[in-house]
Amino acid sequence: MKRVILHSDLNCYYASVEMNEHPELKGKKVAVCGSTENRHGIVLTASYPAKRCGVKTGMANWQARQACPDLIAVDPHYDLYLKYSKIVRNIYRRFSETIEPFGMDESWISLPFTDDVEGIGYKTAEKIRHIVFDETGLTVSVGVSFSKIFAKLGSDIKKPDAVTVISQNCYKEKVWPLPVSDLLYVGPATTRKLSKYSIHTIGDLANADPLLMKNWFGKNGVMLWNFANGTEAAEVMPEDYVMPVKSVGHGTTYVRDLNNNYEVWLVLYELAQDVGHRLRVHELAAKAVEVTVRDNELGWRQWQVQLPYPTQSPLEIATAGYDLFLARYDWNRPIRALTIRGINPRSENEPIQLDVFNDYQRRIKQQKVDDAIDSIRNRFGVNAIKPAILMGDLSMANDKCETVIMPSPMYQ
């Protein structure tokens, strides 16, 4: 299948926007850092001068200052980042109607009516690069290829402000010598496991036996093998495409550690308010609950439990998650962050099989209460009504960074 796909990646995005808004920061060692008070105290992105001093995304603020004592730390301004993201995507729309966002700063762009990667693809990428800089002051790296994976890889190969072409004529020479960890979705754990099988480069992965890859990694192994060989056929999805909902969750970091079961219950119940609401919006009911716990040493654990009935009830979701937590967490360390998810969703209108061991009439009454609460919140705001137990200080972060839409898995 011949096609032309671009992947655009705005360079050092958050830091670049801040320097655009504050010209006095240009050329300096700048890092956009999450709020230390709200426990999001990590580097979100850094300028190239800061990176050259050893500052890396995900590094704790104090570590960044150790690496770069004269670092200028800037608070994040998500409204600005969203504004610039929309402006840049409007530029992309001059070249194609098919644009798939991958976070705020990255997008795949499918070029219509051509399969000329090295000619039309390259020239279009250069036009985009120049227009973005001229109209926004931001620089962008663009990968041009015949597959989404290689286009993404191309935008990573040369930064900043560059275009890299990976065509069917040259992908083996350009791509196969690279570390396998450069491939999208090959994280540290997968890299370590591949290394055990003597797979260190993308070429090693491409030349592995696909049957063995399936035995070792399941269907994901075959997916990665196709990625390495340039045979993945995922389409660039339209910007308004809505991926089927597979789970609904909410979580955040807390301004202080949670130290006892009661604090955990309050947080899970508060998070479940949002989970239940969004299940209603999607007209779904969760068949299971998943809880993720991150301790104050950044270790994490995750557990799931099936529910006797599908539910949208915040109380039922929180209760199931809390019972699961009590059964599995040993309190070796205080808790820094919690997430609760309603998973394995089904239509809220799908019939269910009743049994004699549950009080179904009580569940109907609770559902009517939840419906009324949701209606009041939709009309007067989320804080118009809430359980009295949640009226106090829950120590939840309030910088709203968890509300920013992050990259989702690439549509297959």
Q: Is 316 a catalytic residue?
A: no
State the Cα–Cα distance between residues 74 and 89, nearest whole angstrom.
Answer: 25
Query: Which amino acid, 314?
Result: P
Instruction: Note whether 41 and 60 are within 8 A (CB).
Output: yes
Q: Name the strands in the sheet holding 30-33, side by side, starting at the edge strand that comes first in the sequence.
A: 43-46, 30-33, 72-74
CA distances from 79 to 8, 83, 224, 401 (A): 21, 6, 36, 11
Instruction: Note whether 243 and 100 are within 8 A (CB).
Output: no
The catalytic residue among 18, 100, 106, 263 is: 106
DSSP string, 341-384: EEEEEEETTS-----TTS-HHHHHHHHHHHHHHHHHHHHH-TTS
- The encoded tokens of residue 39 equal 């426990």
State the Cα–Cα distance between residues 280 and 277, nearest whole angstrom.
Answer: 5
Instruction: Note whether 270 and 250 are within 8 A (CB).
Output: no
CA 221 to mean position of chain CA atoms: 21
Q: Tell me the HSE value of 349 on the side-chain side, using a 13 A CA sphere.
A: 2
Residues designated catalytic: 106
